[in-house]
């Protein structure tokens, strides 16, 4: 990881902060992006001398464009861009409002779209680069009805990732677009969800943010296109869709 320049969105806490600390220990240079200035600067301080904070709102294209320029201005180039920022929701589909859907699309989808589109010209000019989009198991299997629009937004991210990958590899095979899908992660994700919700740290079967960060770091090295963060995920997805057929 030495000399690799990595930009991480949603880096002030949770998976993003854990990934920053791990990559910092491994010698990466880091641009950390989030809105909460104090928390972000604290995360940067924990991530080594080559980490710096870029206070920005990832739902604003201009902010993302500025983040790309700041990172290039600081380090000369970017090797990896991690679209990690996101938010959950606690509301069943029958109760969703226009505002609920708009917020999930703005935070979870547009942030990925803007991040990928804004860094892509830089990668294309270099003929190399790597975008990693952090999705969710709920982007594969919509079995948590109270996460409704969150699950839908992550399905959108999955499709967008695959289509970016197919488009770009035709002309720039040195650029990879990867998807990483965690399950339950022991962070404040649930508490910070729109309309509140259960504390993800108390749910069974959760992974620590450090465990998920280790998987993402592995994807940076392997450049695999599509990775789950826990054992048995593939089987769980297959079982879900098999059960739909039997319940028709």
What would the mean pLDDT of 211-238 be, rounded to a whole number?
A: 96
- Percent of the chain exceeding pLDDT 90 equals 86
- Under 8 Å between Cβ of 13 and 33: no
Rounded to the nearest 10 degrees, what angle do helices 111-126 and 61-75 cross at?
Answer: 40
How far is it, in rounded angstroms, from Cα 196 to Cα 193? 5
Is 12 a residue whose pLDDT tops 70?
Answer: yes
Is 248 a residue whose pLDDT tops 60?
Answer: no
How many CA atoms lie within 13 Å of 229's alpha carbon, on the beta-carbon side? 28
How far is it, in rounded angstroms, from Cα 136 to Cα 152? 11
- For 100-158, give the secondary structure using H, E and C: HHHHHHHHHHHHHHHHHHHHHHHHHHHCCEEEEEECCHHHCCCCCHHHHHHHHHHHHHH
**Structure token digits, residue 67:** 């983040």
Instruction: Name the band, by pLDDT with cuts 50, 70 and 90, for residue 247.
Output: low
The β-bridge partners of 131 are 81, 177
How far is it, in rounded angstroms, from Cα 82 to Cα 224? 14
Query: Is 150 tagged catalytic?
Result: yes
How far is it, in rounded angstroms, from Cα 105 to Cα 194? 13
Instruction: Name the band, by pLDDT with cuts 50, 70 and 90, for residue 246.
Output: low
Q: In degrees to the nearest 10, what's the CA dihedral of 52, 62, 124, 108?
A: 80
From 114, 150, 156, 228, active-site residue:
150
In this prediction, residue 1 carries a pLDDT of: 67
Residues 6+ apart with CB under 8 A from 174: 127, 128, 129
> Domains, the chain, ranges and CATH?
5-246 (3.40.50.720)
How far is it, in rounded angstroms, from Cα 130 to Cα 157? 16
Handedness of CA 67, 69, 74, 78 (dihedral sign): positive
- pLDDT tens digit sequence for 47-62: 999 999 999 999 999 9
* Nearest partner of 177 among 98, 94, 113, 97, judged by Cα: 113
In this prediction, residue 191 carries a pLDDT of: 86
The β-bridge partners of 5 are 29
């Amino acid at each position: 990881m030495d000399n690799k320049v990595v930009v991480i969105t949603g880096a002030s806490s949770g998976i993003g902060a854990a990934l920053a600390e791990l990559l910092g220990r491994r010698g990466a240079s880091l641009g950390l992006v989030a809105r909460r200035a104090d928390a972000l600067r604290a995360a940067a301080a924990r991530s080594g001398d080559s980490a710096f904070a870029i206070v920005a709102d990832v739902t604003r294209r201009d902010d993302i464009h500025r983040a790309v320029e700041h990172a290039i201005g600081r380090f000369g180039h970017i090797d990896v861009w991690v679209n990690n920022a996101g938010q959950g929701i606690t509301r069943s589909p029958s109760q969703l409002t226009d505002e609920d859907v708009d917020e999930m699309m703005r935070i979870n989808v547009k942030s990925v779209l803007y991040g990928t589109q804004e860094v892509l010209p830089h990668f294309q000019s270099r003929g190399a680069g790597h975008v990693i989009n952090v999705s969710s198991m709920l982007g594969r299997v919509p079995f948590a009805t109270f996460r409704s629009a969150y699950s839908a937004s992550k399905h959108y991210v999955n499709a967008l990732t695959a289509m970016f990958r197919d488009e770009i590899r035709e002309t720039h095979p040195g650029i990879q677009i990867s998807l990483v899908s965690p399950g339950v992660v022991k962070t404040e994700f649930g508490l910070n969800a729109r309309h509140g919700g259960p504390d993800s740290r108390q749910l069974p079967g959760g992974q620590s943010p450090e465990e998920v960060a280790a998987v993402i770091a592995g994807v940076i090295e392997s450049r695999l296109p599509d990775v789950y963060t826990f054992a048995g995920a593939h089987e769980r997805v297959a079982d879900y869709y098999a059960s739909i057929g039997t319940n028709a």
